[in-house]
Chains A and B, each alone.
Chain A
Amino acid sequence: MTKNKLMSSKPKLAWAILCGGLLILAACNKSLNDRSADFPVLNPLKTDANAGDWRPILLASANEFTVPAPLPVFGAPYALEINEIKALQQNISASQLEQINYWGAGTVLRWNETMRELVAKRNLAPVQNADGTYPIPSAANPFGYPEFPFSNPPYSARAYAYLSVAQYDALVACAYYRRLYNRQAPYQIDAQVKALLPANNQPTYPSEEAVVTGATLEIMRRLFPADIALVQAKADQLLQAKLAAGMIVRSDWEAGIALGRSVGLRAAARAGADNMGRAVGTPAEWAALEANAIARNETPWISLEIPKRPPMLPNFGRVRPFLFDSLTTIAIRPPAPPSTRSPQFQQELAEVKSFANGITREQERMVHFWADGVGTYTPPGHWNAIAAEDFVAARFSEVRWARNLALLNMSLMDAGITCWDTKYFYFNPRPSQMDPSIKTTTGLPNFPAYTSGHSTFSGAAATILGHILPSRATAYVAMAKEASDSRLFGGIHYRSDCEVGLAPRKKSRGLCHHPRTNGWGRLSPSRNR
C-alpha cells in the first residue's frame, strides 16, 4: 500500500471527524454564569432616609458615638476632595469600572459574600498530631497550623451574626448623622462630577459604604485574623471605586470608617464576652458529657473519626444569644430523643438504613445540594446566599439589607446555640455508631445527632425570611424541609433529629417578639418590610 493511495481517499473521513470535533470544541464557551458576578447595580426602591430613627441592636442610641461636623462644601479643603474625584474620573480603566459595578451591587451584600468566602476557605478541621490527638486552632497563632479559625457551622453562624449586627448598627448611626449634617453628595455639589452609579440624592456624610466597611474590618480582623490583609485590600478597592464613581468624597469615607470602627468595636466587645471562648471545652468536660449520658442509662455519642476527634464546640450552647437569654436556651430545649433501647429508635434506625441502602438520584441531589460540609460556607452561609439573591431582587436600601441580614443571622446564631445545647445535653449517637453497616453519602459531622443542625438552622432561616419576604415564605419552608430531609437521606440523621430540629422555627418566630428585643423586633417584620 503506497502513501499516495492512503492520502487520496481514506483520510477524508478522519479529517472530517477531526475538524468537526474541533468546531464543536470551539463552540464550547468556557465562561461560567456566576450569579454573584451578574448581580445588577443597586438602585433601592426606598431610600429609608429615616433609618436614623430605627432602633439599633447594640448601641444605646443612634448617636451614641459622636461624628464631628463635616467640612463646609465651599471651602478650599473640600475643593481638593472634589479634585481627587475629578482626577480619578479623567481616566477610568476597565478594571476600575468593573470594581465600580462590583461594589455598586451593594456594600452590605459584597461584605456578606466576603464573609461567606472566608468561612468556606477556613471550614477545615485540623489534621491530627502524630500521637493521635488533635491541635486546637488558636486566635493567638492564626498563621501557624492549625489555621485559625476552623469556621465550622456554629463558628460561622456567630461570625455572620456579629458582622450583620455591627453593620446594621453602623448604618443606623450613619443615617442619623447623614440627616443631621445633610451634606450633599459630590455629584450634587459639583456639576463636573459624574455619578457613575445610581444617584439617589441622599446626603453622604458619613459614607454608608465606609461605616459598613469600618464595622466589617473590626469584626473580620478578630474572627478571620489571617485574612485581614485581603479584607483591607478589598476595603481600599471599595474606597477607590466609590471615589471614582463620584458617590463620595474622602472625608465622607474617613468619617464613616471612624464611626463604623467604633460600632464594630462595640460588637467585638460583646463577642469577647459572649462565652465563645469556652465553647471548645476541656477534656474533663468532654468526659463528663459521656458520663452524663451513661448515668441516664443511654448510649453516649462516640466520635467516628479515626483517630477519635473531640466533639465540635460542646459548650457552644452556652454562648449568649442575641434574641433571648441563656436561661431561655435551656427552657426551650426540646424533650429527649427516642431512647436507643426503644422500639421507636429501632424503627428510625431501620429507616436510616433503608435510605443508606436505596437512595434515589433525586435524593442524592438533595444530599449534595444541602451538604454544606467541609470547605463550604456552611448551612448558615447557604441561607445567607439564598437571602442575598432574593434581597437583590427586592432592591433594599443598604440599611434595610443590613437589618434583614441581622435578623436572619441573629436567628441563625441563636438557632445554632439552642441546637448545640440540645446536642450536648442529650449526647446521643449517630446512626452509623449504632449500626456500622450504615454508610453515609455525605460527611458524618463530628457531634451528636439530636437535633439536626441543618434542620434547626433551616427552620429558623425559613421563618424569618418568610417574614421579610412573605411572597417567598412558602418556598423557604419547602427549602427548609428539603434541607432537613436531606440529612435523613444522607444516612447521618434519624427522622426525630430532623423533625424536631425543624420545628423550633415556630419558637424563633415568637422569639423575634421576645420582650427584651421587642422594640427592635417590632421595627422589623410587620411595619418595616
Chain B
Amino acid sequence: MITISLYKTFTHSALRKRGWGFWVGATMALLPALAQAQTEVDAIMMNKNNFCTGIMYGHNSWKNYWEGTLKRDNANLGTVSSQAIMVMGNYGLKDNLNLLFAVPYISTKASAGTLAGMSGIQDGSIYLKWMPVEIKKGNQYFSVYGIAGASTPLTNYVKDYLPLSIGLGSSNFSGRLMLDYQKGNWFATASAAYFLRSKVQIDRAAYYTTQMHYTSTVQMPNALNLNLRAGWRSSTLIAEAVLDRFQSQGGFDISRNNMPFLSNQMNATRLGVNAKYTLTSIEGLSFIGNAMFTLEGRNMGQTTSWGAGIFYIIDFNRKQKSDDKK
C-alpha cells in the first residue's frame, strides 16, 4: 500500500491533496434557486492528476423577502423553495492549477397560490483555480489564489418568471482574488470576486423596469462578491464559518407589490457553516454538509439553505504507478 503515508503526517500540502470544501449558496443565480456550489471560493487545491468528483444535494427556502428594502411575505407564494442536485468535479492539472466544474439540476415550487414551479438543468460552470504564491514559515502558511470562472445556461429555461424560474439566464465571467492564512490547524480565507454578466434574452418583446424597454434583451447588472471563511483544518475534518456578501452593481428595486425581475438589484449578506469529513477507513471518500442563512438582503428572499454531498478522489498518479509496477 503505497498511499497510506499520505495521511500519516498532516501538512498543509497533504491537505491540499485530499481536501475539498463545498458550500452551497445562491450566488450566481440568486433569487430563484440555490444555484451552484462555490467550490472555487475555498483555499484547497487538488494535486496534479487527482480528480475529485461527487454529487451534492441542496435545499433552499424563504418565506420572507425584500421588496426593495421593505421586508415582507406574500400569501400568494407562501414558502418558495428550490432543490438542487449537482454533479461536480475538480481536477488537478498541476499541483497549483485546478480545473473545477459543476452542473446543477434545479426544481422550484411555491407552497401557496396557483403559480407552477419549474425544473430543469440550470447553468454549467467551470473555474480555473491557480495558486501562484505559497509561503511556509514554521507552522504558518500563506498563499495567494487567482480564480477565473465562467458559467452559462445549459438549457433554454424560462428566465422571466421570478421567483420561480430556475436561474437568471446570464452567462457570467468571474475573477476572484483569494488570500489564505493558516497557523497549525487554524485558518482564515478572504476573497473578493467580480462577476461580469451578459445580457439575457427573455420571451417578452418589451418590459418595464423604471422605464419601458422595447426589446427582448435585458441588461444585467454586474456583481461583486466578498467571502470570508475561518475555521479548523485537518486531514480528516474541515470545519468553518462562512460570511458572504453578494452585491449587484446596479439594477432597480421591485416596486410595491410587483413581481421581481431579472435586472433587480439583488443583494444578500449570508452567514453559515460548512464541514467536510474525510474517512480514514475508505481512502478518498468524503462527506460534506453545510447551512447558510440570509441576514440581510434586497430584492431577494431571506433564504435558509442547507446541503449535503458525497465525494470521491481518484488518483491517476497512483494508477499510473501501479501500472508501472506490473
A interface residue numbers (CB < 8 A to B): 1, 3, 6-7, 10-11, 13-14, 17-18, 21-22, 24-25, 28, 30, 32-37, 113, 116-117, 120-121, 124-127, 145, 147, 304-307, 356, 361, 364-365, 367-369, 371, 374-377, 382, 385, 432, 438-441, 443-444, 491
Shortest B4–chain A CB gap in Å is: 23
B: residues with CB less than 8 A from A are 75-76, 93-97, 112-117, 128, 130, 132-135, 146, 148, 150, 156, 158, 160-161, 173, 175, 196, 198-199, 202-208, 211-215, 217, 219, 255-259
Smallest CB–CB gap between B309 and chain A, Å?
Answer: 27
**Known pairs A306-B75, A439-B117; A30 contacts B199 (CB<8 A):** yes
Cα distance, A373 to B30, chains bound together (Å): 23
B64 shortest CB reach to chain A, Å: 14
Assess whether B257 is in contact with A14, with CB atoms less than 8 Å apart: no
- 20 further contact pairs, Cβ within 8 A, besides A127-B256, A369-B205, A491-B114: A3-B133, A6-B132, A7-B132, A13-B97, A18-B148, A34-B213, A34-B214, A116-B212, A117-B212, A121-B208, A126-B257, A147-B256, A306-B113, A364-B158, A367-B203, A368-B202, A369-B204, A377-B206, A439-B114, A439-B116
Chain A hits for B219, CB < 8 A: 30, 32
Contact, CB under 8 Å: B214 / A21: no
Q: CA–CA, A24 to B114, complex, Å? A: 42
Q: From B175, which residue of chain A is reached at the shortest CB distance? A: A18
B199 near A113 with CB under 8 A, answer no
Kindly report which residue of chain B lies nearest to residue A9, judged by CB atoms: B94
- Residues from chain A with a CB closer than 8 A to the CB of B93 are 13
Residues of B within 8 A of A371 (CB): 204
A-B contact count (CB 8 A): 138
| Distance between B127 CB and nearest chain A CB, rounded to angstroms | 10
A376, B130: Cβ atoms under 8 Å?
A: no
Contact A32 B211 (CB under 8 A): no
Cross-chain contact B208 with A117 (CB below 8 angstroms): yes
The 13 listed contacts between A and B (C-beta, < 8 Å) are A1-B134, A6-B133, A14-B97, A18-B128, A18-B175, A28-B198, A30-B199, A32-B219, A35-B215, A113-B212, A361-B156, A376-B206, A491-B116
Q: Are A376 and B207 in contact, CB atoms less than 8 angstroms apart?
A: yes
Q: Flag if A125 contacts B257 (CB, 8 Å).
A: yes
A145 to B258, CA, bound (A): 14
A-B pairs, 9 with minimum CB distance: A439-B116, A120-B208, A368-B203, A306-B75, A14-B130, A36-B214, A35-B214, A117-B212, A365-B203
Residues from chain A with a CB closer than 8 A to the CB of B198 are 28
Collect the chain A residues with CB atoms within 8 Å of residue B206's CB. Answer: 376-377, 382, 385
- Among candidates B114, B199, B217, B259, residue contacting A375 with C-beta atoms closer than 8 Å: B259
- Report the Cα distance A306→B116, complex, angstroms: 16
- Which of the residues A124, A304, A440 comes within 8 Å of B257, measured between beta carbons? A124
Least distance between B75 CB and chain A CB atoms (Å): 4
The residues of B that contact A374 with a CB separation of less than 8 Å are 258-259
Q: Which residues of A contact B204 (CB under 8 A)?
A: 368-369, 371
- Which of the residues A33, A37, A305, A438 comes within 8 Å of B76, measured between beta carbons? A305
CA distance A3 to B136 in the complex (A): 11
Within the complex, the shortest CB–CB distance from B252 to chain A, in Å, comes to 12
Quick one: closest A residue to B135, CB to CB? A3
